[in-house]
Amino acid sequence: MTRDSQRILILDCGSQTTQLIARRVREARVYCEVAPWGMALEDVRTFGPAGIILSGGPQSVYAEGAPRPDPGLLALNVPVLGICYGMQWMAWALGGTVARSERREYGPAEFTGAASCLLFAGMPPAQPIWMSHGDKVEALPPGFRAAGFTPNAPFAALEDPERRLFGIQFHPEVTHTVQGRELLRRFLYEACGARGGWTMASFVESACEDIRAQVGEERVLCAISGGVDSSVMALLIHRAIGDHLDLLFIDHGLLRKDEARLVQDRFARKFQLKLKAVDASDRFFSALKGLSDPEEKRKAVGRTFIEVFEEEARALGRVRFLAQGTIYPDRIESAAVSGAAQVIKSHHNVGGLPERMAMEVVEPLRDLFKDEVRAVGRLLGLEAAFVKRQPFPGPGLAVRILGEVRREDVAILQEADHVFLEEIKAAGLYDRAAQAFAVLLPVRSVGVMGDERTYDRVVALRAVTTEDYMTADWFRFDHEFLARVSSRIVNEVRGVNRVVYDVTSKPPGTIEWE
């Protein structure tokens, strides 16, 4: 891929926020890639980074199996920034001492940085940061000096200016660290000499080159779900290879209300792309029958998708490539980037294809965050209203119906979800809530309607605000709005007599319930 030669290598030591580091680097218009902490030194040299960032991680440097990158990384004459565990490993590897902290720091703290340090020059001396550590650097390695402290960590930042090695105990990638973006920008531009030439326009150009290089004159089968990710993926691949792209819309019966019709109208009529629509809902409901565990449901949907794709691919003739709309958060939550992070939930389009399926995967969006995908969509001509559309899970309503999934439950949830989103749009709140949806719970509650006793289902409403979908906070609707939505759902959706609102942030919860 043709890119600015100045790129950053991020080595993942197991942090759940490693992808946020990549996001911040790209926001600074510098290209970066994430690789496992165990990347061979020769491969690092081949990559030719302008700088290296070592992520945080949950382990102690002394723990068995803890990430231990090649110490040769620190002798490449390339600037290195160690974050949290990355700093601890760097200090330990170069002869410093790391010890268990008497008091674990997790959450907000006040950091005082040294103005003489390149990373903090021009910043307020005292600044709020976000900590998450149990160990701390107790003695500096030779050649290093202290560059900042907190009340609980005398070496919360350290540097070796001669070798351009820097370490910080806190997380600059999270929004809670107010000066975090500026700190990273200073590392990228001042320490690494980055020029900032990477943009979404350059991504589109290089992605098309990659797609053409991978598929040549072969045909590509692309799944369209109606969501932003698959839509942008389809338009990007079509720009690269034109009519060698075949679109396939699998209606699994688990979409939002009227979604199947809207998908076909958009791609077959508006964009004039080759689209085949298949109603496979019977097969999906059959595959989901008797399943209540969320992981089993996700895997059942993914397995059935693959089966249908195999059959449709054979019907189309020889198709060598299958396109998938995998994006970065999917891979992170499935621990597919480095294998160091903990799996949160599996994604139906992450992890490859079964060996029996004679198709290779094309994933042009696999390293993009959701906001980057939206930016690409705008460049490719998608209308603004659609580009801003909120995410929808690949398994659809199967993971918004807790317990076994039946057709009648899907019909109830479609109506409740439609009412919720309709009211959000009418109130002008759709662009303020990053994601909003209804969930059908596997419980019934007693109610009274028209002087008659009811014993019907419970719907939970969920809405969140987030920048990156890796952390999120619940959306603060006013009481009148919630009362209006609740009244409409109970009165208009047969089978529901109670509505509740979810006020859980991420973490500890995930955005989806399953």
- Residues marked active site are found at 84, 171, 173
Exposure on the CB side of residue 345, measured as CA atoms within 13 A: 22
**How many Cβ atoms are within 10 Å of 484's Cβ, its own excluded?**
16
Residue 46 burial class via C-beta count within 10 angstroms: exposed 0-12, middle 13-18, buried 19 and up = exposed
DSSP letter at 401 equals B
* Contact partners, residue 55, CB within 8 Å, separation at least 6: 10, 11, 12, 13, 14, 15, 17, 18, 21, 37, 83, 84, 85, 86
Q: Distance between CA atoms of 84 and 156, rounded to whole angstroms?
A: 9
Instruction: List alpha helices for 399-459, DSSP H.
Output: 407-426
Q: Is 396 helix (H, G, I), strand (E, B) or coil?
A: helix
Residue 265 in tokens:
């109208």
Question: Peptide bond before 508: cis, by omega within 30 degrees of 0?
Answer: yes
* Contact partners, residue 102, CB within 8 Å, separation at least 6: none
Residue 290 in tokens:
């008797």
Residue 503 in tokens:
């006020």
HEC profile of 151-165? CCEEEEEEEECCCCE
Q: Residues 309, 248: contact at Cβ < 8 Å?
A: yes
Q: Distance between CA atoms of 88 and 202, rounded to whole angstroms?
A: 36
In 379-487, at which residue ranges do the beta strands (DSSP E only) sit?
Answer: 435-449, 452-465, 473-474
Question: In what helix (H) or strand (E) does residue 213 lie, and over which residues does it extend?
Answer: helix 200-215
Length of the chain: 514
Residue 238 phi, psi (nearest 5): -65, -40
